[in-house]
Amino acid sequence: MRLHRNLVFATVDALLEIFNEGQYADKVIEKTLKRDKRWGARDRSFIAETTYDIVRWKRLYAEIAEVKEPFSRENAFRLFAVWATLRGIALPDWKQIEETPTRRIKGRFDALSKIRKFRESIPDWLDELGVAELGEDIWEKEIGALNKQAPVIIRVNTLKTDIQTLQQKLKDEGFETINLKDYPYALQLVERANIFKTESFQNGLFEVQDASSQLVADFLDVKPGDRVVDTCAGAGGKSLHLAALMENKGQVIALDIYGNKLKELKRRAKRAGAHNIETRVIDNNKAIKKLHGKADKVLIDAPCSGLGVLSRNPDAKWKLEPEFLDRIRKTQQEIIRQYCKIVKKEGKMVYATCSVLPSENQLQVKDFLASEEGKDFKLIEDRKILSSETGYDGFYMALLEKSDSKTSEQV
Ligand SMILES: C[S@@+](CC[C@H](N)C(=O)[O-])C[C@H]1O[C@@H](n2cnc3c(N)ncnc32)[C@H](O)[C@@H]1O
């Protein structure tokens, strides 16, 4: 591989913004890619993938390069030189990287790879937390899997097409996909590509959605005609899937505390032809109270650490903090105790997160079931999805049912 100066310089600039200014990697990359209209698909993918790689391996590379944050421009070039050396890419004689000690880099890599927090490039606290929550063996495998680049997976929009027709259409547009056993709505791209420009996407025939995430709406067991409340709908990945499973019949009420996310949801719903979704911003308690006892099914896709989706969001390793985790666990318990009231008698509720930590998942459900608010609910089934077992995002989902309290009192 020949390194192109302007692409490497753009990557270094992006890294400095992400590491030193605390900006989100996806936003910085999106902005960087707009810098030069002449860049083709390969140039753009070099910048995006190299930046993500160096973000993912920041601790390991910084240790090898012997640089400390905040990084100078010179430091960022050294991180880049480590990345290139470990990939066996011949370094050009640019003054920024001319003195790279190639042999020493390989030696340090071998030595540091013996220690998990360096090998997997994670902060000490996260390594300790992973071991405490999952045990040494599972954590070792899980963090390894979460450090792999995530595949591009799409969900067919059954309101507009079926999976075979979509697969053929994408093939005609130049994109090969494969079916995934046990994921009835999913296709995986054989090669990573930007598929947002395809006619199929513009016409709402699919959404990009990880395979594990595609299991959540199905888990709620919705039927056409149901009244469903998606309490933490965000930009609506799961609301759209719910609407499709309900064949546009019945109602999906999509709630979130952020109006801008719901605006994006509306845009996506229009493209998808999902006509039964109504969005409502939660700006006070009344929004929830009005819905008490009204829904056949409730989805709580709770805000979480996002540790299950590190493979698509590696900078979370550096942005997450233990204090945030403490706060988010409290929020999760408040949300489940408050929003469970929306479920009507004999209705169902799914509590889900994209985390692999029991403290955000099964322990939250356990606490809820032991609480006053949870006393009418019973756990029907839960799924703990590890990335190391499936190759997709880490997820948790619990299906709960509310009893008819009168019947249970009489019994
Ligand atoms: C995991 S994300 C949702 C992703 C979304 N369901 C999807 O499939 O695309 C969690 C969402 O919860 C929202 N949120 C945070 N606190 C909330 C609260 N107290 N009530 C409702 N939503 C909340 C966040 O804004 C965020 O959009």
The residues, ordered by sequence, that sit 6+ positions from 405 with a Cβ below 8 Å of its Cβ are 345, 376
Instruction: For residue 277, tell me if it sits in a domain.
Output: yes
Instruction: For residue 16, tell me if it sits in a domain.
Output: yes
Instruction: For residue 250, tell me if it sits in a domain.
Output: yes
Instruction: For residue 144, tell me if it sits in a domain.
Output: no
3-state secondary structure of 104: helix
Question: Helix, strand, coil proportions of the chain in percent (round to 5)?
Answer: 50, 15, 35
What distance in angstroms lies between residue 178's CA and the mean position of ligand 1's atoms? 30
The last residue of a domain, from among 170, 186, 208: 208
**Which position has the token pair 């494969």?**
178
Give tens-digit pLDDT for 346-365: 999 999 999 999 999 999 99
The last residue of a domain, from among 208, 231, 250: 208
Instruction: For residue 147, tell me if it sits in a domain.
Output: no
**Domain carrying residue 70:** 5-120
Q: Decide if 313 contacts 289 (C-beta within 8 A).
A: no
Does 225 share its domain with 373? Answer: yes
Does 203 share its domain with 237? Answer: no
Ligand 1 surroundings by CB, under 6 angstroms? 231-238, 255-258, 261, 282, 301, 303, 335
Q: What whole-number distance in Å separates Cα of residue 127 and Cα of residue 143?
A: 9
What residue owns the CA closest to ligand 1's atom 3? 234
Instruction: For residue 132, tell me if it sits in a domain.
Output: no
Does 282 share its domain with 317? Answer: yes
Confidence of residue 408 (pLDDT cuts 50, 70, 90): very low
- Answer whether residue 29 shows pLDDT above 50: yes
Q: What whole-number distance in Å separates Cα of residue 290 and Cα of residue 295?
A: 11
Q: What are the residue ranges of helices labelled H in 210-321?
A: 214-219, 237-245, 259-272, 285-289, 316-319
Confidence of residue 411 (pLDDT cuts 50, 70, 90): very low
**Domain count of the chain?**
3
What distance in angstroms lies between residue 300's CA and the mean position of ligand 1's atoms? 8
Q: Just list the catalytic residues.
A: 354
Domain containing residue 180: CATH number = 3.30.70.1170
Does 174 share its domain with 220? Answer: no
pTM: 0.96
First-to-last C-alpha distance (Å) of the chain: 73
Q: Which residues pair with 154 in a beta bridge?
A: 187, 208
Residue to substitute in 212, 232, 288, 335 for testing ligand 1 pocket (most ligand atoms within 8 angstroms of CB)? 232
In ligand 1, the atom with minimum distance to the C-alpha of 235 is 9
3-state secondary structure of 16: helix
Does 222 share its domain with 355? Answer: yes
What are the phi and psi torsion angles at 269 (to 5°)?
Answer: -65, -40
Please tell me the predicted confidence (pLDDT) of residue 169: 98
The last residue of a domain, from among 184, 208, 232: 208
Q: What token pair was written down for 115?
A: 């220690």
Domain containing residue 234: CATH number = 3.40.50.150
Q: Decide if 85 contacts 91 (C-beta within 8 A).
A: yes
What distance in angstroms lies between residue 236's CA and the mean position of ligand 1's atoms? 9
- Answer whether residue 410 shows pLDDT above 80: no
Does 231 share its domain with 374? Answer: yes
Residue 221 assigned ligand-binding role? no
Does 204 share its domain with 240? Answer: no
Instruction: For residue 141, tell me if it sits in a domain.
Output: no
- Answer whether residue 399 shows pLDDT above 80: yes
Interaxial angle between packed helices 25-33 and 5-21, expressed in degrees from 0 to 180 and rounded to the nearest 10: 150
3-state secondary structure of 187: strand
Residue 301 assigned ligand-binding role? yes
Does 281 share its domain with 405? Answer: yes
Q: What whole-number distance in Å separates Cα of residue 269 and Cα of residue 275?
A: 7
What residue owns the CA closest to ligand 1's atom 13? 232
Does 96 share its domain with 12? Answer: yes
Domain containing residue 18: CATH number = 1.10.940
- Report the C-alpha dihedral over residues 61, 65, 66, 67, rounded to 10 degrees: -80
Does 31 share its domain with 45? Answer: yes
Residue 283 assigned ligand-binding role? yes
Of all residues in the chain, the percent with pLDDT exceeding 90 is: 96
Instruction: For residue 137, tell me if it sits in a domain.
Output: no
Does 329 share its domain with 404? Answer: yes
Q: What whole-number distance in Å separates Cα of residue 315 and Cα of residue 255?
A: 27
Does 113 share its domain with 163? Answer: no
